[in-house]
Structure 1
Amino acid sequence: MKKLTKQMVEQISIGAAVLGTGGGGDPHIGKLMALRSIDKYGPVDILSAHELEDDDLVVPVAMIGAPSVMVEKLPSEDQIVQALSSIEQHFKQKIRAVMPIEIGGVNSLVPIVAAASKGIPILDADAMGRAFPEAQMVTFHLDGYEPGTVAMADERGNTVTYDPVDGNWSEKIARSLTVQMGGSAAMCDYALHGKDMKASAIPETLTLASSIGETLLKKYKGEETAIQELLHKLQGYSLVTGKIAGIKREVAGGFTKGIARVEGMHEDHGRRITLHFQNEQLLVMEGDTPLAITPDLISVLDRETGFPITTESLKYGARVLVIAYPCHEKWRTNKGLEVAGPCYFGYEVGYKPVELLHTSEVGE
């Protein structure tokens, strides 16, 4: 096992915000929490999936709710540990490792808080390969695993455990509880054993996030910019360079929902792009033409630094670059598209892979 360094936490906070496609919560909050926990409890080990024994218990740890709420109501270490301890008590088995349920924003870093405080490793894997807004949108659900006992906790000390019949009911119950818990809560679900984790989780996504962060933290080098390097790494496409010309955003039903308009600049002058998001960026349209469609990944980057901008941080006038890149192959199956494709979110477009929507070379 390797150690999770403070430098890696910095890199993961940036890289996970890219992969989080605007959702998963503010990565700066997660970074500060993770760094504080490492200072308080000591370094955290990173465990690879192949190092798991078949009967090892691995528990995903996350925050659920509207990212906009978490900017004002910061998660607490106590509620994160409280949710995890409830799962441990249920299984009556020592937890081998925790993991991010999604590789996005604060939720990539929240498990570090739990790992440090409990003295256990964090698994280098997640169950989305990105961030999604709903609890059933995980590879575990695609592969037929049930969420099992779910534990949720708020900052007041309230803890709830429940046993949903499937992932869809888990989401419905969790979202209702989240609203009552003030718009955000700590959550543990899909606690699985090593054999099942190795079969279903997407491996090495923390390593990928760290690599992306390392790329974007580099200074520009002549013609090869950090953003160009990023596009090559992700097999991605630059969709538009422009400024945010309008944004409509609201917190409703435990989500941050909205639409942002981007007016093209420089080589894209005269173009008008619309971004549709529900916690995460889910659809990019130019008039009636889709440029990228969920479950493929869409990220909004600061035009100058290349750093990702979350949906709750989008502001009028911001100079941005919108990019898109392919999702994990599990999301392109019939089940994956049923769970997280455009029709599920009510968009009247058919899914088409991002690489088929664009004829330019990867990375250009």
Structure 2
Amino acid sequence: MRIDRAALADLARGAAFLGSGGGGDPYYGLLLAEAAIARCGGFDLIAPADLADDALVAPCGWIGAPTVSVEKLPNGGETVAGLRRLEALMGRRIDAVLPVEIGGGNGLAPFVAAAELGVPVVDCDGMGRAFPESQMVIFNIRGLSACPSVLTAACGSLAVIETDNNLTHERVARGLSVALGGIAHMVEYPLTGAQARQHSIPGSVSTAIAIGKAIRTARTERRDPFQALAAALGDSGLYPHCLTLFDGKITDLERETRGGFSVGRVTIDGFGDGGSRMEVLFQNENLVARQDGRVRAMVPDLITIMDRETADTITTERLKYGQRVKVIAASAPSMLREPAALSLVGPAAFGLGPDFTPIEILNQGEGA
């Protein structure tokens, strides 16, 4: 599949939804990717099955607080610099790249490098959404190492990270990103082609494109974009359940940048006379949604706050008082609901206490 500018715009829209509020606003990544298309031509998106067993595949993305990324812009060379250093470390050329997470701006992170290096992007990722920490990835869940990894910053600084476990890798990389201004690019979890096939979430990039196209087409044809979104998610096979949890206006917002994360909560008052209220907690990504104290959705299922008129995703760093929104939940890919995954990406991993309960069970009897 050849990725042109129209597909890139759809990808940005779909990746924003799959970010569950995080992954960074894809706007700047879209501009960089469009500029790369203008310089180098389009990008090739290939299936994991097309990779040779011994191919060198490099996942990449951004680490840091999305609130910082709104003001501290990339220079466009961070990705390529990191990948070139990985090639030097591995003693061979990179054969393909993929997003470490499909959510938000990270869903577009590999495309600039794909154009500059002349390599394809693989239609898969490591999360099927976005998570705030780098060990919350299917590669770590399946026992693969994040190292060697390369962290690069807009100022030109570059660091190679080697650790004995992936949690320590996250802590070291997070500390470096804070020291470098709160945001940096990271190439991590270098894979063989065989590992990329066996230990990734396949089809996530093309699914993001399909989601974005469905919303765009519905808006053009004056159809309900939320119905189109739900249909695209169901057709993907990765996200079979989609629910509109709440419809209202943001009436309170607490948000701060702490320890390399954007953390806080947003309060939404429902429309109508019922006086219902929803509260969403976030750490870069939206983690749990409670309506009048009752849990309606929880990580790793996706919780996305969207403009109620346009179905544009509102990432956590762009939430504002007075926005009129809908809160949409979608089921996470099945890999993320397995017991081994839930220990790393479920509610307990964020100190939220209760065991994971899927949205289709939490909302039995609720309308879509």
- TM bucket normalised to smaller: over 0.9
- Are residue 303 (structure 1) and residue 302 (structure 2) matched? no
Give the CA deviation at 1:348.
2.7
* CA shift for structure 1 position 287: 3.1
CA-based RMSD of the aligned residues comes to 1.5
The one-letter code matched in structure 1 to 2:209 is S
Partner amino acid, structure 2, of 1:5: D
Which residues in structure 2 correspond to 1:104-119 (within 5 Å)? 104-119=103-118
Deviation at 1:232, TM superposition (A): 3.2
Structure 1 residues without counterparts, runs of 5 or longer: none
The residue matched to 1:95 in structure 2 has which SS? coil
Query: 2:57: which partner in 1?
Result: 58
Aligned residues: 361
Equivalent position to 1:242, from 242, 245, 248? 248
Q: CA deviation at 1:349?
A: 2.6
Matching residue within 332, 335, 339 for 1:327: 332
C-alpha separation in 2, matches of 1:34 and 1:221: 24
Question: Per-residue deviation at 1:26?
Answer: 0.9
Return the alpha-carbon distance in structure 2 between the equivalents of residues 79 and 221 of structure 1. 36
In 2, distance between residues paired with 1:355 and 1:202?
A: 21
Question: Matches of residues 78-227 of structure 1 in structure 2 within 5 Å?
Answer: 78-220=77-219, 225-227=224-226
Cα offset, 1:335, TM superposition: 1.6
Residues 229-277 of structure 1 deviation map (CA, whole Å, 9 limit, x = unaligned): 21233320110000101000000111111100000014x8411010000
Q: 2:352 aligns with which of 343, 347, 351?
A: 347
Q: Which moved more, 1:77-86 or 1:185-194?
A: 77-86
Letter of the structure 2 residue corresponding to residue 59 of structure 1: A
Give per-residue Cα distances to partners, 1:276-304, cap 9 Å, x unaligned. Answer: 00000110012331100101111111000
**Alpha-carbon spacing, 1:57–1:263, altered in 2? closer, same or farther (3 Å):** same
In structure 2, the CA distance between the partners of 1:219 and 1:327, relative to structure 1 (3 Å rule), is closer
Residues 30-49 of structure 1: CA deviation (Å, up to 9, x unaligned) = 11111011111221111110
Tell me how far apart the structure 2 counterparts of residues 296 and 13 of structure 1 sit (CA, whole Å): 20
* Deviation (angstroms), 1:224: 5.2
Range with greater deviation from structure 2 (80-89 or 217-226)? 217-226
2:260 is equivalent to residue 260 of structure 1: no
Q: Distance in 2 between matches of 1:41 and 1:110?
A: 16
For 1:290, the equivalent position in structure 2 comes to 295
**Equivalent in the alignment of 2:237:** none
Query: Does the CA contact (< 8 Å) of 2:276 and 2:292 recur in 1?
Result: no
**CA distance, structure 1, for counterparts of residue 193 and residue 152 of structure 2:** 25
**C-alpha distance in structure 2 between counterparts of 1:317 and 1:250, whole Å:** 19
Q: CA deviation at 1:140?
A: 0.5
TM superposition shift of 1:223: 9.5
TM-score (norm. length: structure 2): 0.95
Structure 2 Cα separation of the partners of residues 269 and 230 of structure 1? 27
Which AA in structure 2 matches 1:239?
A: L
Is the contact made by 2:59 and 2:188 (CA closer than 8 Å) also made in structure 1?
yes
SS of corresponding position for 2:33: helix
